[in-house]
Amino acid sequence: MSHTPRKVTEIIEPQYVIEGADVLLRRSFGPSRANPFDPFLLFDHFAFNNPIEGPIVGFPNHPHRGIETVTYMLEGNVRHRDSLGNTGVIGPGAVQWMTSGRGIMHEELPKRGPNGRVNGFQLWVNLPAAQKMSPPRYQEFSAGEIVEIEQPSITTRLVAGDFAGKTGLTTDIAAQPLYMDVILEPGSEFHHDIPRGHTAIAYVFEGAALFGVDDNNDGEFVDAVKMVVLGDGDSLRVQTGASKHVRFMLIAGQPFGEPVVPYGPFVMNTEAEIRQVFEDIRNGTFAKEPV
Ligand code: MN
């Protein structure tokens, strides 16, 4: 078997955007018909370090269809409530993997932690055409439940996928995702095999490292905060220098190769399916699952 290291093909500077009710966040990419990160549609980083920003109102009641939204918190928490009658708090270190399927209405309200900060990520994962109208469902794991792997100079928290012989608790996701939080100490190396053909990106949010290190030990220097796009191959190497650590979310998954028609919080395959969403909302049949 030939071996191809994945190289850096693009470094994205996350852009500040205002979403929901005055939530300032950094967006690396959002849904588009071009769908360059298939099966991933959006990656947002919401981080508030400045107490003078005032109260965070958050994301009042809104619908979703055709996607999965994955919320992973570092600091502070998100209060959550939905049309299925679910209610809860996603605390620091916890994850909520929400599969909207044919429809959900929910509100997401970030709340500062004791240190005054909110810090977390939302990743949107596409659903294949065959599952866009599936029943909505949740997979939620507390900080203590998430699979954590301690190795010399590497700490990983595995939300989904496989690493070092362990498997994340999130199951039955069509995109076959890898989603993990990686902390690499100074002067060390991270290595992981990612199946050829899978989309792979890394969100660097602390420190700096060489990404996409090849067999000649050449790589691309990336410092926080950036989204790194990795070319195809079957393995990824990341190396830290002598003085700085790096922390990043590694995201990989199987592209669906289907047409994508996004409209706000809905992502479908055709314009007719987007029109159907609005018809269902008008008819009062949207997100009306038996509770
Ligand atoms: Mn939402």
Question: What are the helix (H) ranges across 9-138?
Answer: none
Report the candidate in 176, 184, 152, 180 with the shortest Cα–Cα distance to residue 166.
180
Residue with tokens 């199987």: 254
Report whether 204 contacts 225 (CB < 8 A). yes
Report the candidate in 15, 44, 181, 183 with the shortest Cα–Cα distance to residue 118.
44
Burial of 49 (0-12, 13-18, 19+ CB in 10 A): exposed
Question: From ligand 1's centre to the CA of 60, what distance in Å?
Answer: 9
Q: Is 3 strand, coil or helix? A: coil
Question: From ligand 1's centre to the CA of 188, what distance in Å?
Answer: 37
> Does 25 score more than 70 pLDDT?
yes
The whole-angstrom distance between residue 32's C-alpha and the CA centroid of its chain comes to 16
Q: What whole-number percentage of the chain has pLDDT above 90? A: 84
Question: From ligand 1's centre to the CA of 152, what distance in Å?
Answer: 37
Question: From ligand 1's centre to the CA of 246, what distance in Å?
Answer: 29
Question: From ligand 1's centre to the CA of 116, what distance in Å?
Answer: 23
Instruction: Tell me the backbone φ, ψ of residue 74, rounded to 5 degrees.
Output: -105, -45
Report whether 46 contacts 25 (CB < 8 A). yes
Question: From ligand 1's centre to the CA of 4, what distance in Å?
Answer: 37
230 or 49, greater pLDDT: 230
Question: From ligand 1's centre to the CA of 229, what distance in Å?
Answer: 25
Q: Check residue 54 and give its pLDDT.
A: 59
57 or 33, greater pLDDT: 33
Question: From ligand 1's centre to the CA of 9, what distance in Å?
Answer: 30
Question: From ligand 1's centre to the CA of 104, what distance in Å?
Answer: 9
Q: Check residue 169 and give its pLDDT.
A: 97
The domain segmentation of the chain, as residue ranges, is 8-282
Give the CATH number of domain 8-282; options: 3.40.640.10, 3.30.9.10, 3.40.50.720, 2.60.120.10: 2.60.120.10
Q: Which residues contact 115 (CB under 8 A, 6 or more apart)?
A: 75
Give per-residue pLDDT as tens, 95-154. Answer: 999 999 999 999 998 888 888 888 999 999 999 999 999 999 999 999 999 999 999 999
> Does 31 score more than 70 pLDDT?
yes
Residue with tokens 């693009």: 10
Any bridge partners for residue 53, and if so which? none
Whole-angstrom CA distances from 30 to 36, 96, 132, 264, 266 are: 10, 19, 18, 10, 12
The secondary structure of residue 285, as a DSSP letter, is: -
Q: Say how far apart CA 194 and CA 174 lie, in whole Å.
A: 16
Question: From ligand 1's centre to the CA of 268, what distance in Å?
Answer: 16
> Does 57 score more than 80 pLDDT?
no
> Does 291 score more than 60 pLDDT?
no
Q: pLDDT tier at 48 (50, 70, 90 boundaries)?
A: low
Report the candidate in 165, 187, 170 with the shortest Cα–Cα distance to residue 240.
187
Question: From ligand 1's centre to the CA of 64, what distance in Å?
Answer: 7
Question: From ligand 1's centre to the CA of 87, what distance in Å?
Answer: 14
Give per-residue pLDDT as tens, 164-199. Answer: 999 999 999 999 999 999 999 999 999 999 999 999
Q: pLDDT tier at 46 (50, 70, 90 boundaries)?
A: confident
Question: From ligand 1's centre to the CA of 69, what distance in Å?
Answer: 7
